[in-house]
Chains A and B, each alone.
Chain A
Amino acid sequence: MSRDELLLSADGESLTVLHELAQVLELGVLTVDRSLTITSCNRWLAAAMPQARSSIVGQPLLTVFPELRGSAAEQAFHGALAGATTVWAHRFHRYLLPLPPRPTVSEGRFDRMQQSAHVMPLGRGGAIEGVVVIIQDVTERVTREEQLREALAQAEVASQAKSDFLAAMSHELRTPLGAIIGYMDLLESDMVGPVAPLQKQYLGRVKSAARHLIHIIEEILTFSRVEAGKEPIALEAVDGVALVQSVVELFEPQAATKRVGLHATLPSAPVMLFTDPTKLRQILINVIGNAMKFTDAGSVRVAMSCDAERVSFGITDTGPGISHDDVGRIFDPFTQLDQSLTRPKGGTGLGLPVSRKLAHLLGGDLLVHSVVGVGTTFTLWLPIVGDPTGALPTAPTGAQAIA
């Protein structure tokens, strides 16, 4: 017989078994007769009540718990006398019997023990003898749930504060810099009066420094946004080949000045990608720019290839290379390898970490392989979402050399 069948068909013998069981449970068990006089109360429940057991058993329910008079709980008792079982969920009722909270558990959060309960008839059909109530102390569980809810709410507030801060910073920093560059342009253009060539040269340098500052601020803000998980992605279909080509062309003047070779090996047909083109450009500019920065002799090669699942961009330089020890730190923010070597190069040390995070955002990754004294290869790969258009050659045909 299951325990509830036991309760329903409570004859004298099974009631004895029930009482034995009830004494050892970590639940409150209370029984009343048809006149709602308390006929038994198990050890757990008696311990939870301020009164002595002798002044509970034999007393009317409503004398021991006057608060119950006229309440939904009293109705549940009458319902049971008419044969109905009531499930008393904590979320709807908080408690069935008004009992003080157990001190170790509630931490002063509740002034009553929080309970879930069942109210059931004793006996069946025409022979209902009374009501049995089974009470579970759920104070601990409910306290934890409330604490969790509060923590989540706080986290949400903090997250919102971060967003607001980043947005405000963005605006606050760009506005004055925009003004600086704007006024420089005006001065340079002779509109406010003639400007001597040397003065124009100085203006040019100030503008350049301002632009550099904007670039650094952008990098820091992007990094913060990506860190906070607040960098939105705008996906669209874009031709990867055309995009890489346009980025490579940006570095042609610099390559020519430094007398460094700049070569691109790209597929001859367009490769359609479904990604965020702005971020892809950002990554490529960062990585190619990095290669150009650290290569004083030799060449920088950009190669693009794809298979069924991925498109890869390899950027190989003939710079000094990175040692085994340092290669692990190259994607750490704010770390520039050996300050003495890199100090003249400038930068925030954020370019590569941001690029890698952006690659992750786009569903791919940025990897590095390097040999000291030979050079470094950075590989960016992205997933191809959906079918690439047409049949693509896996080995690019028709290499295009630039410069």
Chain B
Amino acid sequence: MTVSRVDHDALTELFNIGLHKAAAALSELTGQRILVDLPRLWVCPIAETHARLRDLMEGELATVHQVFMGSMTGDAVLVLEYENASRLAALLTHGDVASDGRLDQSAREVLAEVGNVILSSCLSAFGDMLHVAVSFSVPRIHVESLEGLLRSLKVEKDEMHYTLLAATRFRLTEGEVGGYLLIAVGIASLELISKALAEHEP
């Protein structure tokens, strides 16, 4: 199943809105001005995802997972390379955590909250725009390898799995960090999204 150009553009805009909402929430939380870049989007079957991700990132990854269910089901993940994760945590807390580049307990808590805000904002942007209801699980933070991440993606068995992968940068006054949002869904959910986009009435 390929995604049409209209769908691609529409999905990009959905992620864009979700990420900006997240930036506004993070801005309230941290008291800093935060800008996000227009995301680059890829939609691909899960088999291709591994190769795509390997091109984009390397080394240990810090990930925040949030499983969602309802009319759409899947796994949403914020993925950051380890160094970027510690830099993001340090930037958002003015160096109070992770200033030595390591993700200790405090830094992980910060990232879990940040990840929760970002993932929830994006998923609810999807939900609102497409008139689908979703509820989320408790977000979990892991430090893992790319293989570990892909193995852990929870999508219903016996279905073709797809991932929506969005790449963006978070820009703060004292620095910027690149990161990825990965939403893994089954084919049923992907078709639902496509249908909802075509019928989209705000």
Contact = CB atoms under 8 A, between A and B. Distances in A.
Given A121-B135, A125-B70, A90 B116 contact: no
B45 interface: no
B109 A125 contact: no
Contacts of B136: 83-85
A338 interface: no
Interface in B58-109: 69-70, 93, 96-97, 105-106, 109
A121 B136 CA distance: 10
A86 B69 CA distance: 17
Nearest to A83: B135
Contact of B138 (A91, A116, A118, A138): A118
B113 A87 contact: yes
Interface stretch (A1-9, A176-184, A390-398): A1-9
Interface of A is mostly: mixed
A117 to B, nearest CB: 10
A84 B25 CA distance: 14
A242 interface: no
A120 interface: yes
B112 interface: yes
Contacts of B97: 91
A91 B93 contact: yes
Contacts of A7: 138
B129 interface: no
A380 B116 CA distance: 58
Interface string A110-127: 000000101011001100
B26 to A, nearest CB: 10
Contacts of A91: 93, 96-97, 106, 109-110
B2 interface: no
Contacts of B30: 92
Contact of B116 (A83, A87, A124, A142): A87
B173 interface: no
Interface in A76-105: 83-92
Interface residues of A, number: 24
A309 interface: no
Given A85-B120, A141-B105, A145-B106, A92 B137 contact: no
A92 B112 contact: no
Nearest to A125: B135
Contacts of A88: 113
B163 to A, nearest CB: 22
Interface in B119-142: 120, 124, 133, 135-139
A70 to B, nearest CB: 15
A118 B138 CA distance: 8
Given A85-B120, A87-B112, A125-B70, A4 B106 contact: no
Interface string A1-28: 0001101100000000000000000000
Contacts of B93: 91
A164 B69 CA distance: 62
A8 B109 contact: no
A7 B137 CA distance: 9
B198 interface: no
A84 B117 CA distance: 10
Interface of B: 29-30, 69-70, 93, 96-97, 105-106, 109-110, 112-113, 115-116, 120, 124, 133, 135-139
Given A8-B137, A84-B124, 4 more contacts: A86-B116, A88-B113, A92-B30, A138-B105
**Nearest 7 A-B pairs (CB), nearest first?**
A89-B109, A89-B113, A87-B113, A4-B138, A87-B116, A87-B112, A83-B135
25 contacts: A4-B137, A4-B138, A5-B137, A83-B136, A85-B116, A85-B120, A85-B139, A87-B109, A87-B112, A87-B113, A87-B139, A90-B106, A90-B109, A91-B93, A91-B96, A91-B97, A91-B106, A91-B109, A91-B110, A92-B113, A120-B138, A124-B135, A125-B70, A125-B135, A138-B105
